[in-house]
Structure 1
């Protein structure tokens, strides 16, 4: 009998809009099944894994490869139950927005001169072609980074490379050291790469605020003849 993550993987494979992602080696060479089995083993041991199994592949379910216009890389899901739903930085919890997300949304509001959103759910961005993907798609409750070495990173590296190769014009928003390391996978002759510090308040350099990534991204997309992203969440 399949574990919950293996079952979620099988269901992801069956979705009609996932064909582009399924061509990645990660889904062709057994890597996906191997990682899912590792996570299932953790669940079987009694640990609580987040997000819920049906949300693990949300980022690549909501944003097909051929629809990607913007890429935002995160680290791993929020380790508090109820907060994460499979999109990098996105939040569906009932408490105060996480600090990094507050910084991102404050920058967006100031950059575009729009009201600060109340919602932290970034699904609206994902549905417009913003790939919000974490380096690890799972985490254990209360243990940030617990699954960073499980093999999920191969999926992210391959996704960035495939988008760079296959898509004609994409904006890559690389925030923080781990994300910026992936700049080497991107063809800058085709795509726009905007690098900045991490939006976390723990970033002592504080080199994220004031970088205006949202207006830059939209101006470049329009220049390339593409629809800009409506970054407003409460509209």
Structure 2
């Protein structure tokens, strides 16, 4: 049994509850892609965990990985464009990635997810959605850091919800000003530099 398999077995009741609540609701991404990230990267290879808030509201921008977009999308979403600009301004050795699906980041040990793994189709995300997904994401965060130390990068919109569940004596936490809602703070933020330095302190190396 793989590590992620054990996590899903351990949290099967929580996942069943989520799907039961979503059963009569139209949501995105499609069910086959909701947990796809777990098939792209093994637990023991995770060095950095980036947690956003929710999937894109544009269905054409959503891929099977949080924050990333489809490989076929030539023009990335605004959130990604802002992230790229920050990396180009603050990371000296940064080279633009080959596609917006973040395959290179996955290979480097960067795990990407959202607080809410789904969102309602055709409408904004209500607070109840965050309450629905909160136990799952809390358990996921705890499962990862109990396995080994990592650097958590949390969007500031969900930082206060998740930070209290992280053992900061084992792991490091970096707050990311929201790349759109807090654009000017994000533009001047050294969050990616800081994460790289903290990962180095844990004995990890990777490239953005």
The bucket for the TM-score relative to the shorter chain is 0.7 to 0.9
Q: Deviations over 1:179-219 (max 9, x none)?
A: 3431111122221111232111x327x32223222232223
Q: Are the structure 2 counterparts of residues 37 and 131 from structure 1 closer, same or farther at C-alpha, using a change threshold of 3 Å?
A: same
> Match of 2:164?
184
Q: Aligned partners of 1:58 and 1:141: how far apart in 2?
A: 19
Tell me which of 42, 50, 58 is aligned to 1:72.
50
Counterparts of residues 5-20 of structure 1 (less than 5 Å):
16=2, 18-20=4-6
Q: Distance in 2 between matches of 1:126 and 1:21?
A: 19
**1:106 offset after TM fit, Å?**
1.2
**Which residue is equivalent to 1:154?**
135
Query: Is this contact kept in 2: 1:171–1:217, CA < 8 A?
Result: yes
Residue 154 of structure 2 contacts residue 173 of structure 2 at CA under 8 Å; is this kept in 1? yes
1:210 corresponds in structure 2 to 188
* TM-score w.r.t. length of structure 2: 0.84
- 1:80-95 to structure 2, matched below 5 A, reads 80-92=58-70, 94=73
**CA offset at residue 126 of structure 1?**
2.7
* Partner in structure 1 of residue 30 of structure 2: 52
Distance 2:87 2:7 in 1: 29
Structure with greater Cα Rg: 1
1:31 aligns with 2:14: yes
Aligned residues: 205
CA–CA distance in 2 between the matches of 1:128 and 1:118? Answer: 14
Q: Where in structure 1 are there 5+ consecutive unaligned residues? A: 1-14
Q: Is 2:207 the counterpart of 1:230?
A: yes
- Consecutive unaligned residues of structure 2, counting only runs of 5 or more, are none
Query: Aligned-pair RMSD on alpha carbons?
Result: 2.5
Deviations 1:17-54 (A, max 9, x none): 62242254x32xx1211211232322xxxx3x321222
Shift of 1:70: 0.7
Contact 2:49 2:151 in 1 (8 A): yes
| Structure 2 Cα separation of the partners of residues 84 and 215 of structure 1 | 27
Secondary structure at 1:208 match in 2: helix
Q: 1:121-148, CA deviations, whole angstroms, 9 ceiling, x for partnerless residues?
A: 1233234322211111112333231572
> Using the alignment, how far apart are the partners of 2:57 and 2:113 within structure 1?
16
Using CA pairs below 8 Å that are at least 6 residues apart, which structure has the higher relative contact order?
A: 2
